[in-house]
Structure 1
Amino acid sequence: MPQSMTSADLRIRNQVRLLRAVHDAAEPFTRAEAARLLGIGRNTAAALVGELEQARLLHEVPAESSGRGRPTTLLVPHPDGPLAFAVDFREDTWTLASVALGGAITELESGEHDRTPAVFTQIRAAVARHETPRLAMLGFATSGPIRDGHRLHISHLGWDEVELDSVLGEGWPPTVIDNDARLAGLAESRRGALRGKGTAMHFHIDFDIGGTLLLAGDAQRGGHNIAGEFGHMPLTGSTLECMCGVRGCWSLDVGANALVRRFGKQPGYGTGRELAREILHRAENGDREAMEALDANAASLGKGLGALANALDPEAISLSGLGIDLIRLRRNLIEERCLENLMAFRRDEPPQIVPGTVGAAGPLTGAAEIAWDAILAPAGLKERLQGRGSQPPGRP
């Protein structure tokens, strides 16, 4: 134990570790299993569980009977414990959900919006309709880069540096916010296809493509919180001008907008998702023009993945959003183009390219994860434990 860490600090550290273990686990586990997992004695584990139950964070419930002997109990989230709310803000829609310790998501409300910053007022009203004293933190996934943690930029909606400090001002619960593609990757790393991978990449494909580099389960944010704008790199040789101000962006060749453009239609940033789905359906049914548009999208995706794999050396690459359809319909083409663009010595062991298993809920799940990261931070947990039952359950 470091000299600067007191016995109280160590206790909080172990309480955080136990709560994180319950939150991250695929299934509930026993107090004895918790002791083994944390490398502590059973008496210490029992004391931790007792304190966390008193603070309305954990609860023990009987496991299914397995015969004679003392009944086993499992550690589960407390029924009156804190909740996180999560918001997934798309270019044209939004979804609000409630998320308990352990990651179980309950959708509360969803809606469309007019593609102006007034949507934040709409979402705040929805949060107020469902707000509860148990609400401890709100996690927000948004479809654009957030510079320095507070300036939101969504070029294809014409949003130029929207000040989040203003639109998420007074009246909001404690809120953490991040980019949707990064949060989709975080969700895959913690609860999906990239679980257990040391170095991985994730790409969320919607109207265009964004991604994140994941190291030991954490999505990398960069010096100004805007790392991961891989869609704005000239990876495929395009000469088109992007609305971001750069010419030749990868996003111009991958995603719903590129699919619509290749099909001969006007993409109309912020719209066109349904048309893209129709093109995919037509491609599945043998329509030549739709198949050509799909092939171009898949080939450009594979080419860019190969280039990025050369630079970042991921163990695996996962895809979400439209990427799940692309890999389902054109896996061979994606892998061929990726392989062609790998350095020769890398081709014997190319990174595995897999569909995300969290699915369309990736950004929402990631938003819930950063909210729970904040709830389970040592400082917040210490405050909650010191208050014991004197404050409403779930309020930090």
Structure 2
Amino acid sequence: MQPTTAHSARALRSQGALAVLRYAHAHPSATRADASRALGLSSGSATEITSRLKAARLIGEDAPARTGGRGRPSPALTAHPEGPLVCVVDISHEGWRVAAIELGGGVLTESTGRHTGSPDVVAPLAGHVAALQARYGRRLRAVSACVAGTVSGTEVVQASGMGWRDVSLEPLKPDGIPLLVGNDASLAGLAEARRGAGAGSRVVLHLTVEVGVGGILVVDGRPVNGATGAGGEFGHMPFGDPALDCPCGARGCWDLEVDGRAMARALHRPPPRDPRTAAGDVIAAAASDPGARAAVAGAARALGRGMGALANALDPDVVTLSGLAVDLAATAPGALEDGYRTALMRYRRAAPPPVLPSTLGPHGPLTGAADTAFDVLLTDEGLDAWTRG
């Protein structure tokens, strides 16, 4: 029977239980011995803490694999089969995903689909969330939504690629559990800093190109989201032509220089309906078409110049790239490097922050959204709520 007293909640927090739980989430393949070494716990303490977390249905342990060596191998820490879950709702420009995710990031169930770009998609997505709550009951502890747009609180204030303005995601919130909403590029950057190409670095600047540029600065594993949650809208910095109007309402945005809209202008084509698809087509043609190659190089150079400006301002250890930014870097590496280095202050050029492609790819936003939800759950308050039943 699950503990329900205040005493049991306090016991969970004692002797590093919360630290072990967070470690198990961040390192899903770790063993009990790994956690013991990383957290400075004795073998006995690690065993005792793990036993209490298992009794509270927070952690499970897999039987250790036989290695043929001496001694008894340490069991791996896993999500408890009856433990807490989060629901992630991922809304991209054309598609959606709804997933139930356990401690450590494992996906238990996932539904996917396409949408037309209308905000009407929120209602059926709320139905998927409600179905997960009906299936998992109190195990479902939070809903975390990631959206390809600018967010403030639980509202999408603008999503140019979908034509959204001031769309509330409150319908996704079931009774009794929190709803968290974040920009997809920012959440991908959080995941990349913690679990991907930026893992192990203290200050990570993440940039992605889809329709424009998004990203986030992550410091000590925490995203710099700003006062209202809209931090990381790097694409709306005035790194572009001030004569060009951006759908955001500003002029000269960097967004307009690095995606399919910039490539279409370079090729004297009309503005594309879908900048991401248009960019992909031009990048694919660059191997054999000199005009396409020049258009890609122009976008890559503009991306590099903005990267250099942000490196000057934010002083990251590393810059990570995802989305079409990876394709730009692979297709026109010389142009990207030229733009990056010429924008850097002189003293930075000898050892500029390295630029690394994403290792999480399209799974980044989903992973970041799940981690954001578990950040709320893996706290003293979150454990109190779980143990109260």
Q: What is the TM-score normalised by the length of structure 1?
A: 0.88
**Deviation of the 1:158 alpha carbon:** 3.5
Q: Which residue of 2 aligns with 1:277?
A: 280
Indicate yes or no: 2:182 matched with 1:181: no
* Pair 1:41–1:215, CA change in 2 (3 A): same
The residue number in structure 1 matching 2:82 is 80
The aligned counterpart of 2:257 is: 253
Alignment-derived partner of residue 228 in structure 1: 232
- Report the Cα distance in structure 1 between the residues aligned to 2:129 and 2:272, rounded to whole angstroms: 30
Assess, with a 3 A threshold, how the Cα gap between structure 1 residues 45 and 252 changes in structure 2: closer, same or farther: same
Q: Give the percent of matched residue pairs that are identical in Structure 1 and Structure 2.
A: 37
Once the two structures are TM-superposed, the CA of residue 192 in structure 1 deviates from its matched residue by: 0.2
Show CA shifts across 1:127-177 (max 9, x none).
344443232222211111212454532245333322334x43556953211
Where 1:242 maps in the other structure, the secondary structure is coil
Contact 1:182 1:228 in 2 (8 A): yes
1:10–1:282 CA distance, 2 compared to 1 (3 A): same
Unaligned runs of 5+ in 1: 1-5, 388-396
Farther-moved stretch of structure 1 (64-73 vs 375-384): 64-73
**Contact 2:117-2:163 within 8 A present in 1 as well:** no
SS at 1:76 equivalent: strand
Shift, 1:255, TM fit: 2.0
User: Closer, same or farther in 2 for the Cα pair 1:71/1:287, shift >3 Å?
Assistant: closer
DSSP-derived class of the 2:119 partner: coil
Residues 62 and 71 of structure 1 are in contact (CA less than 8 Å); yes or no, is this contact kept in structure 2? no
Contact persistence 1:192–1:357 (CA under 8 A):
yes
| 1: CA distance, partners of 2:168 / 2:265 | 32
Distance across 2 between alignment mates of 1:240 and 1:374: 41
What letter corresponds to residue 66 of structure 2 in structure 1?
A: S
1:214-241 deviation line (CA, Å, top 9, x unaligned): 1112110112221111100112445211
1:146 alignment partner AA? V
Residue 22 of structure 2 is matched in structure 1 by 20
- Deviation at residue 82 of structure 1 after TM alignment: 2.0
Tell me the residue number matched to 1:311: 313
Task: List per-residue Cα deviations over 1:87-109 (Å, max 9, x = no partner).
Answer: 22112211222322112235612
Do 2:154 and 2:179's aligned partners in 1 also have CA atoms closer than 8 Å?
no
Say if 2:303 is the partner of 1:301.
yes
Residue aligning to 2:163: 158
Distance 1:123 1:173, change over 3 A: farther
For residues 352 and 156 of structure 2, what CA distance do their matches in structure 1 show? Answer: 37
Deviates more, 1:52-61 or 1:104-113: 104-113
Relative distance call for 1:211 and 1:71 in structure 2 (3 A) is closer
Q: SS of the residue aligned with 2:247?
A: coil
Gapped runs of 5+ residues in structure 2?
1-6
Q: Which amino acid aligns with 2:48?
A: A
Give me the whole-angstrom Cα distance separating, in 2, the residues matched to 1:172 and 1:231: 36
The 5-angstrom pairing of residues 278-357 of structure 1 reads 278-284=281-287, 286-357=288-359
Q: Does 1:243 align with 2:244?
A: no
What one-letter code is carried by the residue in structure 2 that aligns with 1:163?
S
1:369 & 1:377 partners in 2: Cα distance? 13
1:135 aligned residue: 140
Q: CA deviation at 1:121?
A: 0.8
Contact 2:154 / 2:168 at 8 angstroms: preserved in 1?
A: no
Cα distance in 2 between the residues matched to 1:109 and 1:356: 24
2:121 aligned residue:
119
> Over residues 25-74 of structure 1, what are the superposed CA-to-partner deviations in whole Å (9 max), with x where a residue is unaligned?
152212x4433322233333222211211121111222112335445422
Give TM-score scaled by structure 2 length.
0.89
| 8 A Cα contact 2:31 2:76, kept in partner | yes
Q: Could you tell me which residue of structure 2 aligns to residue 394 of structure 1?
A: none
Between 33-42 and 180-189, report the one with greater CA deviation.
33-42
Contact 1:144 1:154 (C-alpha < 8 Å) held by counterparts? yes
Match of 2:53 in 1: 52
Do structure 1's residue 381 and structure 2's residue 386 form an aligned pair? no
3-state SS of paired residue (1:157): coil
Name the SS of the counterpart of 2:82 in structure 1.
coil
User: What letter corresponds to residue 299 of structure 1 in structure 2?
Assistant: R
The CA deviation at 1:183 is 0.3
Tell me the residue number matched to 1:393.
none
Whole-angstrom distance in 1 between the partners of 2:278 and 2:161:
17
Tell me: higher relative CO, structure 1 or 2? Use CA pairs within 8 A at least 6 residues apart. 1
On the 8 A contact 1:156/1:243 being kept in 2, the answer is: no
Paired residues of 2:85 and 2:140 also in contact (CA < 8 A): yes
Check 1:260–1:65 CA distance in 2 against 1; reply closer, same or farther (3 A cut). same
Provide the alpha-carbon RMSD of the alignment.
Answer: 2.4
Q: Partner residue of 2:66?
A: 65
- Kindly state the Cα deviation for residue 324 of structure 1 after the two structures are TM-superposed: 1.3
Task: Report the Cα distance in structure 2 between the residues aligned to 1:279 and 1:106, rounded to whole angstroms.
Answer: 38
Inter-partner Cα distance in structure 2 for 1:229 and 1:272:
18
